[in-house]
Amino acid sequence: MSTYHLDSFTIGAFRGLQSTTFERLGRFNLLIGGNNSGKTSVLEALQAFCNPENPVDWVRIANARNSNARVFPAYSFNDCLAWLFPHAKQADTGSPGSIQLSGIGTCPIQQVEASIQPVFGMPDKEDLEYFAKQTPGFNPETSGTVEGLEIKMDSVRLQGNSLAAPVSVTRRFWQDIPFVRWRGISSNSFPVAAVLGFEYRFAELYADSYSKLKADQQKEILELARMFDSGIVSINVASKNRRPYLKIEHKDLGEVPLMVFGDGMKRVLFIATGLVTAKDGFLLLDEIESGIHAFVLPEIMKWLFRAAREYNIQIFATTHSLEAVDAVLSSAKESPDEFVTYRLSKEEHLAKRMNFNLLTDLRVHGGLEIR
């Protein structure tokens, strides 16, 4: 009988990862390994796996690494989208291969396969008219043939104790026609919140999610925030131009927006808002130590372990930091069976599993470099 949403997860092909399986997953799964070993790709694959039919997630995943798009627009969105698919040196076709993902557990999604191909044609008339309303000077009547990408997504879900028939959906992404509107998006998604790249710097925009946290959770987050600045009195939800945002009551500064504080506090608040979205699902944290001082890490990790149990969340996190590894080990002592580490190797396409005891022996007792 499955214990977690996913007891195992296999990446048949995604970006540069191939035939990589994560067996006997835990509640808190830490991914370590050298640069370019595929740690972030695992999180992206999990995000795509949770809702393969929703183009919003494909857009977000594809754009996450294109951080300099506005300054150095060398790559279009469709370029970024195509590179989610595995590429190999093959002179015969030169086209990307298909994405293949599968999992075993209580998660209703069990298999996902996606293929991509270039297309030429016209976007939907209603989409063009919608875009014209948003873009002065754009005339849908004079727009010609447009280059784009077509992604065909096939997914298999659990239906009772057996697998249902595959569901197939096709989405088209047009070059130079921004992502504006989608109809008929499936609601059969699995809860997931992803903290990737530098998105946490916009944490104050997620005030609505913060307001849905329980009172004791908000109090706990306030205590965590005070570890970054002891002058913080309260964290509140305010509104400007009918849009909610987070503001801070500070004993010296008065009422100030979250943007004036450092990255560490923003990241913690962003993770906290993600708990609402991730309830009964997955929380994906890239570079879990990013922006957070090593002194604060142990308390942050303890909080994450407690929140994961309370919200029935399965966490997948990456790190390069030995301080983060030590903080997670310290926090996992109360429930060592819930914690698992996987070391990825680019050369061997392997995910070496280490339980709490093995990692403790290697890191604490042996003092070894395990990253």
Please tell me whether residues 212 and 306 are part of one structural domain: yes
What backbone phi and psi angles, to 5 degrees, belong to 347? Answer: -70, -35
Mean of all residue pLDDT scores within the chain = 83
- 350, two tokens: 């392997």
Alpha carbon distance 253, 349 (integer Å): 51
Q: Which of the residue ranges 31-35, 60-64, 74-78, 361-365 would you say has the lowest mean pLDDT?
A: 74-78
Please tell me whether residues 69 and 101 are part of one structural domain: yes
Instruction: Judge whether 17 lies within some domain.
Output: no
DSSP state, 199? Answer: G
Range of 239's domain? 198-282+292-312+322-338+359-365
Q: What tens digit of pLDDT does each residue of 274-332 get?
A: 888 899 999 999 999 888 888 889 989 999 999 999 899 999 999 988 889 999 999 99
- For residues 105 and 179, the model is more confident at 105
Q: What tens digit of pLDDT does each residue of 183-216 get?
A: 444 556 789 988 876 666 666 667 877 888 888 8
Q: What is the mean pLDDT of residues 89-101?
A: 69
Residue 92: is its pLDDT beyond 60?
no
Q: What is the mean pLDDT of residues 103-124?
A: 90
End-to-end alpha carbon distance in the chain: 32
The residue out of 143, 167, 189 marking a domain boundary is 189
AA identity, residue 251: K
Q: What is the mean pLDDT of residues 78-88?
A: 85
Residue 70: is its pLDDT beyond 50?
no
Task: Please tell me the predicted confidence (pLDDT) of residue 93.
Answer: 47
Q: Which of the residue ranges 38-42, 103-107, 165-169, 367-371 would you say has the lowest mean pLDDT?
A: 367-371
Q: What is the mean pLDDT of residues 342-363?
A: 86
Instruction: Judge whether 74 lies within some domain.
Output: yes
> What is the count of structural domains for the chain?
2
Please tell me whether residues 226 and 107 are part of one structural domain: no
Q: What is the mean pLDDT of residues 38-43?
A: 94
Tokens 């557990």, residue? 105
Instruction: Judge whether 209 lies within some domain.
Output: yes
Q: Which of the residue ranges 29-43, 199-213, 248-262 would you say has the lowest mean pLDDT?
A: 199-213
Task: Please tell me the predicted confidence (pLDDT) of residue 77.
Answer: 77
Please tell me whether residues 60 and 167 are part of one structural domain: yes
Write down the pTM of the prediction. 0.87
Neighbour-count burial of 103, counting CB atoms closer than 10 A to its CB (0-12 exposed, 13-18 middle, 19+ buried): buried
Please tell me whether residues 238 and 260 are part of one structural domain: yes
Please tell me whether residues 181 and 217 are part of one structural domain: no
What's the half-sphere exposure (Cβ side, CA atoms, 13 Å) at 245?
17
Residues of the chain above pLDDT 70, percent: 82
* pLDDT class of 252 with cuts at 50, 70, 90: very high
The residue out of 189, 217, 245 marking a domain boundary is 189
Task: Please tell me the predicted confidence (pLDDT) of residue 346.
Answer: 76
The residue out of 144, 166, 189 marking a domain boundary is 189
